[in-house]
């Protein structure tokens, strides 16, 4: 049995839990939109073709914000093709995913769905094949009250009130060789700055997100962010991060410690932002939008160039295991402990495409394993994130070197006094005793565990509830601490409350 200690004191806080940390992402890709959120004719579809079962699970997942419409898709997208009378919309080619795009779902359908799910929209503009003028036209259509060409077109399309979309992403992964309209850092930085400047003239209340590197492994990671921000620092509010995790080779420990990679990625981007800010003697601090993150068995993906043209093809519908869910829960812990700077994060994607929610045409939607740690964290990470420095034995990873066997994060709700502890045991042979030194007299009100057994189990159409989190009673109060047992390869959520308030 391993032993790990974590001292948790409400005096040491990181930041309030950012509401948009529990965002997600809908891209016109595979069956995320068509056959996912939108499937006219399905028994669950409403009059607008929106699947009620997907709406229900999106709400249960606790998603607060959704980025749309891409992703790589946005870099070739003409948003005008997706508005107005549906029968007049063209069928087009999506070069990003070699898919046939029917355009029957567009901005206004997305906003109807956003109201049903009570999420905040985050919109991306095309800076791949398009530029300043088209981004401005889209913003005018979406946010301008009326009396102008594009705002009146929205009203003519039956949407009288402006959508008032607050957050706008300036393109997507513009450093990627796979991106339609890839740019150099300086080209993109200039374009992002000029586009953002013009968009702000239309609506000064908007927030802007510049594209950071497509991932931390890009050869230009670090210098891309610095060069882009040299051009755009004063215009944008956020820089984006994207990361997808999978096991590489035999390094299972490295996979289980993916949160450590996320930690250092975030800290590297914060350092780069602050370096540019310091050079400019700027008083502004940029925040980070981790607007694509998840697990993705990317090495199994054939690649965009090898796809056959199809409408809503089955693309990267990865089936997640219990072990994947443990890693995902740990990634959320990384986001939480950086919530002083990461204030937007989007689990990519929401439905079918590397997603927590799955659908098929002939049955109701179901939850993948990764649904559970996300939903539980979104529901119970309330109030403020606390600074925790766990003391843990180490494991060895071939790619990462020494990594902590046990990782811990915590939040505290000042209104209820409840402290919620999130913990992961990455050791695959030994359970761990987590000794929690909490200021005050607390007791456990709920201890939920995912993992520890059946690590390769998945949920599927035929067995949609095979995997579910289970309640644990493996915790006990000692004179100076509260201890909980963490099974090998497991994620735990331990909710504690001041003893007096439990009794009263």
Using the structure block, give the residue that is written with the tokens 């948009």.
20
Distances (CA, A) of 302 to 177, 297, 305, 316, 423: 16, 11, 8, 9, 35
The reply on whether position 315 binds ligand AHR by CB under 6 A is no
Name the segment binding ligand AHR (CB under 6 A); options: 70-78, 87-95, 130-138, 369-377: 70-78
- The least distance separating ligand AHR from the CB of residue 353, rounded to whole angstroms, comes to 7
Give the length of the chain. 504
Based on CB atoms, which residue is closest to ligand AHR, 7 or 92? 92
- The least distance separating ligand AHR from the CB of residue 356, rounded to whole angstroms, comes to 13
For ligand AHR, the binding residue among 24, 58, 64, 72 (CB under 6 A) is: 72
For ligand AHR, the binding residue among 134, 292, 384, 485 (CB under 6 A) is: 292
Name the segment binding ligand AHR (CB under 6 A); options: 6-14, 66-74, 225-233, 280-288: 66-74
Based on CB atoms, which residue is closest to ligand AHR, 14 or 29? 29
Cβ atoms of 12 and 381 closer than 8 Å? no
Based on CB atoms, which residue is closest to ligand AHR, 348 or 482? 348
Based on CB atoms, which residue is closest to ligand AHR, 243 or 467? 243
Q: How far apart are CA 345 and CA 21, in angstroms?
A: 5
Q: Which residues contact 367 (CB under 8 A, 6 or more apart)?
A: 57, 356, 357, 358, 459, 464, 465
- The least distance separating ligand AHR from the CB of residue 374, rounded to whole angstroms, comes to 16
Based on CB atoms, which residue is closest to ligand AHR, 349 or 397? 349
- The least distance separating ligand AHR from the CB of residue 363, rounded to whole angstroms, comes to 25
- Tell me how far apart the terminal alpha carbons of the chain are, to the nearest angstrom: 36
- The least distance separating ligand AHR from the CB of residue 317, rounded to whole angstroms, comes to 12
List, in sequence order, every beta strand (DSSP E) within 131-252: 167-170, 207-210, 238-245
Cβ atoms of 176 and 184 closer than 8 Å? no
Closest by Cα among 429, 440, 442, 427 to 477? 442
Q: How far apart are CA 338 and CA 344, in angstroms?
A: 11
For ligand AHR, the binding residue among 27, 80, 109, 323 (CB under 6 A) is: 27
For ligand AHR, the binding residue among 18, 35, 49, 71 (CB under 6 A) is: 71
With contacts defined by CB under 6 A, how many residues of the chain interact with ligand AHR?
Answer: 11
Burial-class residue 23 by CB neighbours within 10 Å (0-12, 13-18, 19+): buried
CA atoms within 13 A on the CB side of 164: 4
The reply on whether position 70 binds ligand AHR by CB under 6 A is yes
Based on CB atoms, which residue is closest to ligand AHR, 144 or 293? 293
Q: How far apart are CA 352 and CA 168, in angstroms?
A: 24
Contacts of ligand AHR in 344-373 (CB under 6 A):
348-349
Based on CB atoms, which residue is closest to ligand AHR, 261 or 410? 261
Based on CB atoms, which residue is closest to ligand AHR, 69 or 488? 69
Residue nearest to ligand AHR (CB): 71
Based on CB atoms, which residue is closest to ligand AHR, 171 or 373? 171
Q: Which residues contact 396 (CB under 8 A, 6 or more apart)?
A: 253, 402, 403
Radius of gyration of the chain (CA): 23
The reply on whether position 128 binds ligand AHR by CB under 6 A is no
Q: What are the φ/ψ torsions at residue 408 (nearest 5 degrees)?
A: -140, 140
Distances (CA, A) of 330 to 27, 197, 281, 401: 25, 38, 36, 18
Strand pairing class (99-101; 120-125): unpaired
Using the structure block, give the residue that is written with the tokens 């005018």.
140
3-state class of 501 per DSSP?
helix
Contacts of ligand AHR in 222-251 (CB under 6 A):
242
Binding mask 320-349 for ligand AHR (x = CB under 6 A): ----------------------------xx
Respond yes or no: is residue 292 known to be catalytic.
Answer: yes
- The least distance separating ligand AHR from the CB of residue 217, rounded to whole angstroms, comes to 12
Q: What are the φ/ψ torsions at residue 365 (nearest 5 degrees)?
A: -70, 150
Using the structure block, give the residue that is written with the tokens 């070069």.
95
Instruction: Single out the catalytic residue among 39, 173, 225, 231.
Output: 173
Contacts of ligand AHR in 164-203 (CB under 6 A):
172-173
Instruction: Single out the catalytic residue among 27, 216, 225, 292.
Output: 292
- The least distance separating ligand AHR from the CB of residue 229, rounded to whole angstroms, comes to 20
Respond yes or no: is residue 140 known to be catalytic.
Answer: no
Residues with active-site annotation: 173, 292
Residues that bind ligand AHR (CB under 6 A): 27, 29, 70-72, 172-173, 242, 292, 348-349
């Amino acid at each position: 049995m391993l032993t790990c200690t974590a001292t948790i004191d409400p005096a040491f806080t990181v930041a309030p839990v950012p509401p948009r940390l529990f965002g997600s992402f809908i891209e016109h890709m595979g069956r995320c939109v068509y056959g996912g959120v939108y499937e006219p004719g399905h028994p669950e579809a409403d009059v607008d073709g929106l699947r009620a079962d997907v709406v229900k699970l999106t709400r249960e997942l606790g998603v607060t914000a959704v980025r749309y419409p891409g992703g790589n898709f946005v870099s070739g997208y003409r948003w005008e093709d997706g508005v107005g009378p549906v029968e007049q919309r063209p069928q087009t080619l999506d070069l990003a995913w070699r898919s046939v795009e029917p355009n029957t779902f567009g901005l206004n359908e997305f906003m109807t769905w956003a109201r049903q799910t009570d999420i905040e929209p985050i919109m991306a503009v095309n800076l791949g094949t398009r530029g300043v003028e088209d981004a401005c036209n889209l913003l005018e259509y979406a946010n301008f009250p009326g009396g102008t060409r594009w705002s009146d077109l929205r009203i003519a399309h039956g949407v009288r009130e402006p959508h008032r979309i607050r957050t706008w992403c300036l393109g997507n992964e513009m450093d990627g060789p796979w991106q339609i309209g890839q740019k150099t850092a300086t080209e993109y930085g200039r374009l992002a700055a000029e586009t953002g400047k013009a968009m702000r003239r239309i609506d000064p209340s908007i927030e802007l997100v510049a594209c950071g590197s497509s991932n931390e492994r890009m050869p230009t990671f670090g210098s891309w962010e610095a060069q882009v921000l040299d051009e755009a620092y004063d215009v944008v509010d956020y820089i984006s991060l994207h990361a997808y995790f999978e096991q590489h080779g035999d390094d299972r420990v490295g996979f289980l410690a993916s949160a450590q990679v996320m930690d250092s990625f975030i800290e590297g981007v914060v350092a780069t932002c602050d370096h540019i800010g310091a050079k400019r003697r700027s008083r502004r601090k940029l925040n980070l939008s981790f607007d694509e993150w998840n697990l993705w068995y990317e090495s199994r993906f054939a690649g965009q160039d090898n796809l056959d043209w199809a409408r809503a093809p089955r693309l990267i519908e990865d089936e997640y295991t219990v072990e994947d869910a443990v890693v995902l829960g740990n990634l959320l812990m990384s986001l939480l402990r950086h919530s002083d700077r990461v204030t937007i994060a989007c689990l990519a994607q929401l439905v079918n495409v590397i997603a927590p929610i799955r659908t098929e045409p002939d049955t109701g939607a179901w939850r993948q394993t990764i649904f559970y740690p996300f939903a539980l964290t979104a529901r119970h990470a309330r109030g403020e994130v606390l600074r925790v420095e766990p003391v843990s034995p180490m494991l060895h990873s071939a790619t990462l070197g020494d990594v902590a066997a046990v990782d811990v994060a915590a939040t505290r709700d000042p209104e209820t006094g409840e402290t919620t502890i999130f913990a992961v045991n990455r050791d695959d042979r030994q359970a761990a005793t987590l000794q929690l030194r909490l200021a005050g007299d607390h007791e456990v009100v709920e201890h939920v565990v995912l993992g520890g057994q059946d690590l390769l189990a998945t949920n599927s159409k035929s067995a949609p509830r095979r995997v579910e989190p289970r309640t644990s009673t493996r915790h006990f109060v000692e004179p100076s601490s509260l201890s909980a047992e963490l099974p090998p390869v497991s994620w735990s959520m331990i909710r504690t409350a001041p003893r007096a308030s439990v009794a009263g």
